[in-house]
């Protein structure tokens, strides 16, 4: 994994660096948080990240797999995790734009 030194980072990324480096799909910092492209990628990324956790939970509790309440709780947990991923992604990019 390549590492970048602090000196090289501050040499390449200055205060004059545009926010377009952070969110290349939209030039406006406010519009980028509500763009369909960004939200779609957050949903897909969060879903791919958290889905193995809930599949493992289902595999470990295979006796409860026929229980509708248990399956509903897994689906709600996955949805909650995706909403958490969306919120975190929005906050991270908004914070980077705000600090520029």
pLDDT in tens, 29-52: 767 777 888 889 999 999 999 999
Structure confidence at residue 100 (pLDDT): 61
pTM exceeding the 0.75 threshold for the entire prediction: no
Residues in CB range of 26: below 8 A, 6 or more apart: 32, 35, 37, 38
Residues in CB range of 47: below 8 A, 6 or more apart: 78, 82, 85
Position 74 pLDDT exceeds 70: yes
Show the tokens assigned to 16: 């004059």
């Amino acid at each position: 994994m390549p590492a970048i030194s602090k000196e090289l980072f501050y040499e390449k990324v200055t205060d004059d660096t545009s926010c377009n480096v952070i969110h290349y799909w939209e030039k406006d910092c406010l519009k980028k948080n509500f763009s369909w492209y960004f939200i779609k990628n957050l949903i897909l990324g969060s879903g791919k990240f958290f889905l193995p956790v809930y599949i493992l939970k289902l595999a470990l509790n295979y006796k409860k797999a026929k229980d509708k309440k248990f399956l509903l709780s897994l689906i709600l947990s996955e949805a909650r995790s995706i909403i958490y991923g969306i919120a975190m992604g929005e906050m991270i990019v908004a914070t980077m734009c705000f600090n520029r």
